[in-house]
Amino acid sequence: MARRWTGSLKDRDVTDESLWLSRRQLMGGAAAGLALTTLPGGARAQGLEPNRWEEITSYNNYYEFGTGKEDPKAYADALTTKPWTVTMAGMVDRPGDYAFEDIMAKMTVEERIYRFRCVEAWSMVVPWNGFELADLLDLAGVQSGAKYVAFETAYRPDEMRGVAYPVLDWPYVEGLRLDEAMHPLTIMATGIYGRDIPNQNGAPLRLVVPWKYGFKSIKSVVRITLTDTEPPTSWNKANAREYGFYSNVNPEVDHPRWSQATERPIGGGFFAKRESTLMFNGYADEVASLYAGMDLSKFF
């Protein structure tokens, strides 16, 4: 299958791997779990000193394993990722349980170097390995009445110690409109920097939608459901005022507790020069038409 999307970001734009892995050290008390980020305009921060190995591997948010920054590293190894099955359900022609290995045998895996922008206003550039979500949906066969795609993270109390606490309404769930899900930029990531995604980062399969805030990029997906109604999403259920269903990167619509007009590139320290945030995280040319005529301050 031919590559269907070619971005402007190159290898030289990618945030240093050590800095990407250690991003959570700068977050302090970050609330919205799955945030990823980007450097505006594809520029790469210069002259940054990589974090120590201990920092790289000890800071992450994956609340199913605890809310502390070191909890995912300490406890995510308990998650069994082999075997792994994704249930395709709802308005599909071929519902059922799809083994991860069978999915991968049918998908075209490629590298995508994407900007990513956290709702908490920090940013980086990440090289993913993965396949277009549209290919997986086509494998299951989308029925004509479907309008939305709902996603669900693994829920395993015996492996995920954090779900014993009502931090969120478990299991973690997310959703996209069907046209967003079928867009060529939307991928299911299986690797980072050419390596398998580690457990604390969402192994073995996670969603990546580069024009949306990172918490939309749901981790460790076990169920995908096609539906004709807008599905619930975890952070929207927890605080609808702060986390909307669409969650598009928009410098003109502030978070209730901070501005979204600028962002802090990861790696430059807490006092690094802030950069202007780009509409749709720099992907407006590709995705703005999806929202033509919509009030983006209402549908945030």
Cβ-in-10-Å burial (0-12, 13-18, 19+) of 193 comes to middle
Known binding residue 252? Answer is no
Known binding residue 123? Answer is no
Burial per residue of 208-236, b for 16 or more beta-carbon CB atoms within 10 angstroms, e otherwise: bbbbbbbbbbbbbbbbbbbbeeebebbbb
Query: In angstroms, rounded to a whole number, what is the distance separating the alpha carbons of residues 115 and 284?
Result: 12
One-letter amino acid at 29 equals G
Q: Which two tokens stand for residue 299?
A: 């549908």
Phi, psi (deg, nearest 5) at residue 284: -60, -40
Known binding residue 186? Answer is no
Known binding residue 153? Answer is yes
Considering only CA atoms, which of 112, 43, 25, 102 is closest in space to residue 273?
43
Known binding residue 218? Answer is yes
Query: In angstroms, rounded to a whole number, what is the distance separating the alpha carbons of residues 258 and 202?
Result: 27
Known binding residue 118? Answer is yes
Known binding residue 61? Answer is no
Known binding residue 60? Answer is yes
The dihedral formed by the CA atoms of 50, 54, 59 and 64, expressed in degrees to the nearest 10: 150
Cβ-in-10-Å burial (0-12, 13-18, 19+) of 258 comes to exposed
Residue positions forming the annotated binding site for Mo-molybdopterin? 60, 63-64, 118, 153, 201, 206, 217-219
Binding residues: 60, 63-64, 118, 153, 201, 206, 217-219
